């Protein structure tokens, strides 16, 4: 399931993805929009896109990763409405090689709307059986 439209910026510690909400968006509820809690998945997918791009830059294959949890998911709205333009920013604040933590935010139509911290885990070689 791919929910973000594209990665628009990436550095060694930061990435930004974007998407536009429409009535055809996954999880869209007619008359309301996409529930704001789906923003957690937008953040997780932006972290995954960041990590995949990092792996490719380092001549490695992108690999599986896991969302371990989130802290302080704060949203100023209940839904993202049809036509809303979302920019999802993730900033790596900790990385020990396998585990990492990202401060994340979502701007809606240029205004801050959602924030959270995500903790993620990417197994090292041989730590997770191939699928």
Q: What is the pTM of this model?
A: 0.94
Q: Which range of residues forms the domain containing residue 54?
A: 6-121
Q: Kindly state whether residue 131 falls inside one of the protein's structural domains.
A: no
Q: How many CB atoms lie within 10 A of CB 42?
A: 22
SS3 letters across 61-116: CCCCCEEEEEEEEEECCCEECCCCEEEEEEEEEEECCCEEEEEEEEEECCEEEEEE
Q: How many domains does the chain have?
A: 1
Q: Kindly state whether residue 126 falls inside one of the protein's structural domains.
A: no
**Hey, CA dihedral for 98, 41, 72, 116, is it positive or negative?**
positive
What are 79's strand-pairing partners?
Answer: 35
Q: Kindly state whether residue 81 falls inside one of the protein's structural domains.
A: yes
Q: Kindly state whether residue 128 falls inside one of the protein's structural domains.
A: no
- pLDDT tens by residue, 12-55: 999 999 999 999 999 999 999 999 999 999 999 999 999 999 99
- pLDDT tens by residue, 60-119: 888 889 999 999 999 999 999 999 999 999 999 999 989 999 999 999 999 999 999 999
Q: Kindly state whether residue 39 falls inside one of the protein's structural domains.
A: yes
């Amino acid at each position: 399931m791919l929910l973000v439209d594209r990665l628009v910026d990436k550095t060694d510690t930061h990435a930004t993805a974007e998407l536009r909400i429409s009535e055809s968006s996954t999880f869209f509820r007619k008359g309301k929009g996409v529930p704001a809690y789906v923003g957690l998945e937008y953040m997780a997918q932006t972290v995954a896109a960041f990590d995949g791009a990092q792996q490719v830059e380092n001549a490695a294959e992108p690999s599986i990763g896991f969302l371990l949890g989130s802290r302080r998911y704060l949203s100023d709205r209940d839904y993202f409405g049809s036509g809303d333009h979302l920019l999802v920013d993730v900033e790596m604040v900790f990385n020990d090689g396998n585990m990492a933590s990202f401060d994340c935010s979502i701007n809606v139509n240029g205004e801050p709307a959602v924030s959270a911290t995500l903790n993620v885990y990417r197994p090292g070689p041989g730590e997770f059986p191939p699928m």
